[in-house]
Chain A
Amino acid sequence: NAGVTQTPKFRVLKTGQSMTLLCAQDMNHEYMYWYRQDPGMGLRLIHYSVGEGTTAKGEVPDGYNVSRLKKQNFLLGLESAAPSQTSVYFCASSYGGGNTAKNIQYFGAGTRLSVL
C-alpha cells in the first residue's frame, strides 16, 4: 500500500508565485489534514477536511487554500507565496474522527518548500 503520498517532495518558489501541493491517500479515509512544520514549532494544522467536498480552517490557515474534490485527494494551494511560508508541509489522513484506535492519523513523507 502506498498510504499517503505527497507531491512534489521539494520545491523552490519566488515570492509571489503560486503553486499547489497534492496529497493522495489510498486507504479510503474520510478525514485529511495539512500541517506545516517549522524549526522549534512542532506541527501546526493549516486546514483539514472531514469528507469529500468539505474543508475547515486549522490553526494557521492564512495564505493557504484547500480543496477536496475527490475523497482520495486533498490539495493545498498557495496563491501568492511569501518567504514566511518556507516550511515543510505534511499531509495526513485518518479513517474518521473521534478518539478510537481506528482514527489514527497516517502521515505522508512531507514536502520541503522554500520561498525566496
Chain B
Amino acid sequence: AQTVTQSQPEMSVQEAETVTLSCTYDTSESDYYLFWYKQPPSRQMILVIRQEAYKQQNATENRFSVNFQKAAKSFSLKISDSQLGDAAMYFCGIRGGSEKLVFGKGTKLTVNP
C-alpha cells in the first residue's frame, strides 16, 4: 500500500516571498511518480508539477520546483515569488504500478498581500 503524508494542514506566505510545502510518502514500489495538484476555490484540480522517481534531477515549472529526496521519501514543493493566485489547497500524491493515485490530505496555502 502507498501512503502520502502532508504534515502542514495550513501555511501562509507573504506575496513575493517563497514558501515550501512538505510531503512524505511511503511505497514498496520501485517505479512510481509523484505529483502536486493545486485546487483553488473554484474546485478545479490543476496539475502543478510531477516527478518520475527514476529521475534524479528535481522537476521545475516556472516558479514551482520540488525537492525530491528519494532515500528519505520526501517530496516538497517550493513556490517562489508567491502570487495572490497561488492561494489554494495543494495536494501531494503518488502513483505506482497500479492505476491508482493516492493523495495526501492537503495543505491550505494563504497568500497575504
Contact = CB atoms under 8 A, between A and B. Distances in A.
Interface of A: 31, 33, 40-45, 48, 50, 56, 58-59, 88, 90, 92, 97, 99, 101, 104-107, 109-110
Contacts of B78: none
Interface in B41-82: 42-47, 50, 52-53
Contacts of B32: 99
Contacts of A48: 99-100
B105 A40 contact: yes
A107 B45 contact: yes
B50 A101 contact: yes
A43 B105 CA distance: 8
A42 B105 contact: yes
Contact of A104 (B4, B42, B50, B96): B50
Nearest to A9: B43
Given A42-B104, A99-B97, A109-B42, 20 more contacts: A31-B99, A41-B105, A42-B4, A42-B103, A42-B105, A43-B45, A43-B103, A45-B100, A48-B100, A58-B100, A99-B33, A99-B52, A99-B96, A101-B50, A104-B47, A105-B47, A107-B44, A107-B45, A109-B44, A110-B43
Nearest to B43: A110
Contacts of A33: 99, 101
Contacts of A50: 99
Contacts of A56: 99
Given A42-B104, A43-B103, A58-B100, A99 B44 contact: no
A41 B95 CA distance: 17
A48 to B, nearest CB: 6
